[in-house]
Amino acid sequence: MTDAKALVAAFADRLERRDWDGLAELLDPDVVYELPQTRERIRGRDRYVQFNAEYPGDWHVEPRVVLGDDHDGSLLFRWRLDDEDLLAIAFFEVADGRITKVTDFWPEPYEPPTGREHLVERW
């Protein structure tokens, strides 16, 4: 797999199947994982795979959109864990057929600001 789209699709599939060896094959040994919302960073394939393997609960990753070119990829996915059911996003950087960076976003629900009720509906 040389382009980001194929790597991202395989990433989501192997994560969902808890195929940790298969996941590791997709990752550069020096992969960096970042969570901008919490300002957390994990360095290295071993620690990043361990982070996923240790993530508690019966969580599920269901891809909705997978995009990629020679350098970057993106994944929109449905995340389910107990009562949680939300859309989350990851962006990827790839080089030489491996994922070198994962940037993860967990957009949580919030109340809308006022002042735009004349334009919006709620669901």
Is residue 119 close enough to count as binding a copy of itself by CB under 8 A? yes
If you write DSSP's letter for every residue of 21-60 in order, what string do you get? HHHHHHEEEEEEEEETTTTEEEESHHHHHHHHHH--S--E
Confirm if 3 and 90 have CB atoms less than 8 A apart: no
The site for a copy of itself, by CB under 8 A, has a size of 43
Closest distance of CB 27 from a copy of itself, Å: 14
Is residue 99 close enough to count as binding a copy of itself by CB under 8 A? no
In the list 2, 29, 84, 86, the residue contacting a copy of itself (rule: CB under 8 A) is 86
Closest distance of CB 67 from a copy of itself, Å: 4
